[in-house]
């Protein structure tokens, strides 16, 4: 059975030594938080993840979710674990106090998110999606919804979903067929089918609040083929009155539980809406003037809430890439230390044994270092990104726009690069087990299956790459990318004069130069031929991810170099490991930026040349 131990030492390193949150009393979110309080939160969260959630991971995979008599039954132990989680308030750390939350900074709730997903990714989907739906309802819902529905979602009494995808319609929202017809009382009646709905139905909460996108038909009952009538709706499983009373069952039902490759403890459902009562979110758009044409590219004001929900979910999925890589790495290391096979290439290391532990072999070490350098580098970047969101709200007023812009720029990178690398890390950790990794006993094959979905949902990674090159790069006239490039350049300049760090800074500087060259190539060639941008987008995103994680490794190495003899927080070996991992990333990952740039500059000609019939 696999094991999990929360990486509290590394989380504390990022909180205190990298971000210095205990010294940021200038930020209201951190003003009343001291180390003792933060450590108590981390340790309490770690305990429930290690002792309650992790032991249910394989059980959830073995039993899955079952649809019985119109109700989805979750795996044994899930319902009880969910109750324990909610009773402790671990599902609502960042929710406001009036909703029973702790009003903690998002940075701390994200550390809990990572630990939960490492311990049990399928289980963590339920509170994770609920938090995203809660935030969307708080941002777009009417006061009675915030008071009576969002509050119960925060407590965990009710859960939430995101209902976006249809059998024939994923990323292209123009193709949606789900419709919502306005009623005289201001509500809507919704009809349609949504698929791949995480937590669509289950037995852990009294009500489920579905956040749904649908089209509003015209006066003739027809649906447009553009975004102008796409709207965002709240559709509860049980109808809720404006005074908060839960009433009769709504026209919402689970048609099936998807038979999936992984995360089988998560109830991924086909959801049918049959004349269901729905409430449109956000202000109602002004009616068009008679004879005016619809704006084919515009969407309703409430859709901003939907996009906000999706962006939060994409960051959350990126965290899942870190989380699954962490737990897979931990188990890979444990096995490599114990499993004996062959002898070290430089001679016997354990002559008293019949063979050496496989940890002596360079390739095993390469796989494990690849996983760990990604996990710790990505964690540092993700935590910095979360901190930027706080800075964007209450930090230096002159820099708030830059902070928000850099965080927005990183959203597709965190989602796509982290989940690609998380899968690679998990696969490498499984490889350390050899044939034993392929069977169920050690749990590694489940990690690989669970990790694979992260690259797909909340926008497949190729779509994230298109979002990066098509929207994010030139957002605000290029101001966001300008702020990020200045920040990277400043980090390099701050450390390249240090003899101990110069080789790391030089490597990062080379990779950064290639990233800048790739950005310029896109600006020139993507405009000439949009297929060039599409063909180069995945390589560009990966290059950007490598450089950003490299930037954090240079900063972590600078901290570790100052504390290499150890301190009150960590022993010398902790900082020695950081320095080695920083070298590994610069020597083994940063050179990939050269190949990625070459592939980008090859353009789209060959990719688009072959006739579809010849594939």
Asked if 550 and 472 count as a contact pair (C-beta separation under 8 A), the reply is no
Pairwise CA distance, residues 325 & 444, whole Å = 11
| CA 126 – CA 118 distance, rounded (Å) | 14
Token pair recorded at residue 9: 């030492």
Q: Do 10 and 376 form a contact (C-beta atoms < 8 A)?
A: yes
In angstroms, what is the C-alpha Rg of the chain? 25
Q: At a CB cut-off of 8 Å and minimum separation 6, what does 215 contact?
A: 176, 177, 178, 179, 180, 223, 224, 229, 230, 231
Q: Decide if 301 contacts 285 (C-beta within 8 A).
A: yes
Q: Give, to the nearest 10 degrees, the angle between helix 502-521 and helix 572-584.
A: 40
What is the distance between the alpha carbons of residues 270 and 260, in angstroms, rounded to a whole number?
A: 12
Tokens representing 498?
């240090």
Rounded CA-CA distance 377/223 in Å is 47
| CA pair distance 525, 192, nearest whole angstrom | 42
- Counting Cα atoms < 13 Å in the Cβ hemisphere of 497 gives 3
Instruction: Please pick, among 17, 166, 326, 458, the residue that the annotation labels catalytic.
Output: 458
Cα 136 to the chain's mean position, in Å?
A: 17
Adjacent-strand bridge partners of 67? 72
Helices 106-119 and 303-338: angle between axes, nearest 10 degrees: 50
- Tell me how far apart the alpha carbons of residues 455 and 458 are, in angstroms, rounded to a whole number: 9
Active site (annotated) includes residue 458: yes
Helix or strand (DSSP H, E) at 248: strand 246-249
Classify 507 as helix, strand or coil: helix
H helical segments located in 339-399: 362-394
Determine the Cα–Cα distance for residues 605 and 415; give it in Å rounded to an integer: 28
With contact defined as beta carbons under 8 Å apart, do 257 and 269 qualify? yes
Buried/exposed code over 80-89 (b: 16+ C-beta within 10 A; e: otherwise): ebbeebbeeb
Identify the three-state secondary structure at position 185: coil
Paired sense of beta strands 158-163 and 207-215, if any: parallel
Any idea which residues carry the catalytic annotation?
A: 458
């Amino acid at each position: 059975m696999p094991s999990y131990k929360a990486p509290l030492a590394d989380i504390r390193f990022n909180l205190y030594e990298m971000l210095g949150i205990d010294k940021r009393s200038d930020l209201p979110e951190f003003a009343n938080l001291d180390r003792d309080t933060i450590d108590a939160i981390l340790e309490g969260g770690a305990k429930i993840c290690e002792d309650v959630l992790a032991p249910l991971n394989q059980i959830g995979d073995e039993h899955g979710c079952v649809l019985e008599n119109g109700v989805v039954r979750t795996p044994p132990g899930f319902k009880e674990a969910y109750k324990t989680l909610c009773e402790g308030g671990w599902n609502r750390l960042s929710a406001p106090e009036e909703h029973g939350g702790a009003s903690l900074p998002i940075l701390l709730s994200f550390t809990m998110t990572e630990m939960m997903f490492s311990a049990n990714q399928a289980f963590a989907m339920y509170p994770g999606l609920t938090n995203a739906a809660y935030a969307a309802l708080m941002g777009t819902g009417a006061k009675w919804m915030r008071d009576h529905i969002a509050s119960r979602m925060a407590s965990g009494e009710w859960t939430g979903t995101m209902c976006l995808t249809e059998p024939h319609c994923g990323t292209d929202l123009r193709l949606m067929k789900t419709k919502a017809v306005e009623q005289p009382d201001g509500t809507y009646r919704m009809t349609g089918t949504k698929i791949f709905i995480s937590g669509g139905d289950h037995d852990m909460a009294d009500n489920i609040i579905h956040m749904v996108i649908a089209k509003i038909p015209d006066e003739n009952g027809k649906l447009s083929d553009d975004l102008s009538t796409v709207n965002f709706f709240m559709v509860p499983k049980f109808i809720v009155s404006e005074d908060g009373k839960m009433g009769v069952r709504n026209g919402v039902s689970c048609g099936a539980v998807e038979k999936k490759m992984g995360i089988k403890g998560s109830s991924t459902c086909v959801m049918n809406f049959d004349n269901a009562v729905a409430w449109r979110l956000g202000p109602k758009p002004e009616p068009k003037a008679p004879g005016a044409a619809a704006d084919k590219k515009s969407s309703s004001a409430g859709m901003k809430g939907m996009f906000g929900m999706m962006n939060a979910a994409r960051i959350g999925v990126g965290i899942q890439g870190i989380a699954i890589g962490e737990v897979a790495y931990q188990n890979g290391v444990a096995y490599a230390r114990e499993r004996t096979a062959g002898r070290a290439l430089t001679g016997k290391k354990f002559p008293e044994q019949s063979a050496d532990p496989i940890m002596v072999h360079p390739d095993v070490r390469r796989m494990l270092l690849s996983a760990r350098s990604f996990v710790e580098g990505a964690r540092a970047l993700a935590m910095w990104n979360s901190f930027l969101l706080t800075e964007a709200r209450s930090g230096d007023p002159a820099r708030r726009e830059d902070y928000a812009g850099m965080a927005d720029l990183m959203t597709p990178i965190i989602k796509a690069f982290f989940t690609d690398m998380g899968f690679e890390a998990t696969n490498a950790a499984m490889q350390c087990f050899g044939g034993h990794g392929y069977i169920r006993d050690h749990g590694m094959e489940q990690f690989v299956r669970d990790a694979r979905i992260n690259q797909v949902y909340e926008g497949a990674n190729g779509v994230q790459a298109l979002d990066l090159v098509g929207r994010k790069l030139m957002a605000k006239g290029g101001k966001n990318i300008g702020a990020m490039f200045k920040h990277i350049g400043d980090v390099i300049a701050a450390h390249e004069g240090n003899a101990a760090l110069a080789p790391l800074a030089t490597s990062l500087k080379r990779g950064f130069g290639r990233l800048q060259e790739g950005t310029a190539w896109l600006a020139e060639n993507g405009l000439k031929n949009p297929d060039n941008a599409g063909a180069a987008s995945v390589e560009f995103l990966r290059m950007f991810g490598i450089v950003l994680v490299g930037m954090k490794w240079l900063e972590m190495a600078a901290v570790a170099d100052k504390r290499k003899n150890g301190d009150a927080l960590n022993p010398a070996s902790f900082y020695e490991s950081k320095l080695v991992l920083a070298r590994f990333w610069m020597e083994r990952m940063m050179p990939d930026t050269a190949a990625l740039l070459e592939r980008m500059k090859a353009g789209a000609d060959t990719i688009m040349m072959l006739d579809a019939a010849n594939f």
